[in-house]
Amino acid sequence: MQNYKHDVSPDWGLATQMVHGGLTRSQHAETAEAIYMTSGYVYQSAEEAQAAFDNSKPRFVYGRFGNPTVAMFEERMALLEGAEAARATASGMAAVFASIACLVKAGDRVVASDALFGSCNYIVQEILPKWGIETEFVDGRDLGQWRKALSKPTKVVLLETPANPSLRIVDLKAVCDLGHAAGAQVIVDNVFATPLLQRPLEFGADIVVYSATKHIDGQGRCLGGVILGTAKYINETLQPFIRHTGPSLSPVNAWILLKGLETLELRLQRQCEAAEKIAKELQGHPKLNHAYYPTLANFPQAELAKKQMKSGGTIVSIDLRGGRDASFRFLNALKLILISNNLGDSKSLVTHPATTTHQRLTPEQKEAQGITQGLVRLSIGLEDVKDLLADVRRALDAA
Ligand SMILES: *Cc1c(COP(=O)(O)O)cnc(C)c1O
């Protein structure tokens, strides 16, 4: 039996690529992507095995560093990001860690924005220094701080924009230029924006990382991560690190993420519209100091956000006047929106970062990152926006 020949065109739009891109059909000509549940592969001859290992005949060798279902997901992600190559990992943190660890050695220097996802902060603050790597945090909004920190030779710049949970924005173009002048590879954690709303490579970023657990699956089913960059970085620098350390994505999870990509554009459009509407409706609410949404006129960095992002995303962060107690009353009064530390899901979720995801930070670090006791992060899902607004309004009354 012959393998089914699958026509692809680079001219197809993104929605088409997200349904068909990267698909390789087996001899059975299945409609949907096949799940290849295999840890290893077999060879017709000893010579073929030798050729696989000396790379003279590229093929799948072992599940830790390659699988056809995972490869379909990687190819579809590369198409979406406009990157030369992609490698998938078992979680977003595996992606963040591998993307940095494959580049650095003792004596190197890493500069990061201070407002990072909690575990990304832990890697930079706790793990890298233990291995003799110098690390420095800067306020990601302040180009003066970036310029000063990047006046010394630097190996890696790590940043997140919009940042979790403050939604603070980093000027991608300016920081990429400063990073390159210092000799650094710039890694952007693009989880909050997703590849549909912001394309860091176009602003000069070298490497983009995702927790695919968030919007890419977007339906609360599995963990996953992706690293995207040049073919040289992915194949020559990252791939050996992944091959020998094993943060591999399972084929079943790759398949779930492929299905997530098929509906990503539709889901995101709806979630962003709802998030923007909710943020707008909450402006000036008497129980709030502020309702943050990156592209709203009163957002402190709205101009920059609009320059970099097609839309403000699916997250609204609100700052309640009554601090921790009011925040807890608000969370406990919500009926539809669920208390969770996750985000980017079809179900709307609410988080109190100061006591959960960012609990580990010192009071000074929390203040520097804008994580007040009254800050509450709302991840807007696919529900009817009028039900979400009613839930938020009623819970604010109770706060
Ligand atoms: C969730 C998240 C991660 C970590 O991803 P996991 O899949 O949970 O390991 C990293 N960065 C950001 C911004 C995230 O939101």
Question: Where do the domains of the chain lie, and which CATH numbers do they carry?
Answer: 13-260 (3.40.640.10), 265-398 (3.90.1150.10)
Please name the amino acid found at residue 362: T
Structure tokens at 22: 């990267």
Measured CA to CA, the distance from residue 196 to residue 264 in angstroms comes to 9
Q: Residue 316 has what pLDDT?
A: 98
**Gap from CA of 247 to ligand 1 centroid (Å):** 15
Q: Report residue 16: phi and psi, to 5°.
A: -70, -45
Nearest ligand 1 atom, CA 192: 13
Is the pLDDT assigned to residue 243 strictly greater than 70?
A: yes
Measured CA to CA, the distance from residue 329 to residue 261 in angstroms comes to 36
E strand residue ranges, 52-200: 85-89, 109-113, 134-138, 156-160, 185-189
Which strands make up the sheet holding 349-351, listed edge to edge? 288-292, 315-320, 375-379, 349-351, 338-339
> How much is the average pLDDT of 27-32?
93
Give the range with max mean pLDDT: 4-8, 45-49, 366-370: 45-49
Pocket of ligand 1, beta carbon within 6 A? 91-93, 96, 117, 119-120, 160, 164, 189, 191, 211, 213-214, 223, 225
Q: Report residue 178: phi and psi, to 5°.
A: -65, -40
> How much is the average pLDDT of 286-307?
96
Q: Are 21 and 78 within 8 A, CB to CB?
A: no
> How much is the average pLDDT of 335-356?
97
**Gap from CA of 278 to ligand 1 centroid (Å):** 24
Q: Residue 4 has what pLDDT?
A: 65
Instruction: Kindly report, residue by residue over 153-195, the tens digit of the pLDDT.
Output: 999 999 999 999 999 999 999 999 999 999 999 999 999 999 9
The percentage of the chain sitting over the pLDDT mark of 70, rounded to a whole number, equals 98
Q: Residue 6 has what pLDDT?
A: 67
Q: Residue 10 has what pLDDT?
A: 77
Q: Residue 129 has what pLDDT?
A: 98
**Of 36-40, 55-59, 246-250, where does mean pLDDT reach its minimum?**
55-59
Average pLDDT value for the chain: 96
22: nearest Cα among 85, 106, 64: 85
* Residue 90 pLDDT grade (very low, low, confident, very high; cuts 50, 70, 90): very high
CA 151 to chain centre: 28
Nearest CA to ligand 1 atom 2: 211
Q: Residue 82 has what pLDDT?
A: 95
**Gap from CA of 216 to ligand 1 centroid (Å):** 12
Instruction: Kindly report, residue by residue over 9-23, the tens digit of the pLDDT.
Output: 778 898 999 999 999
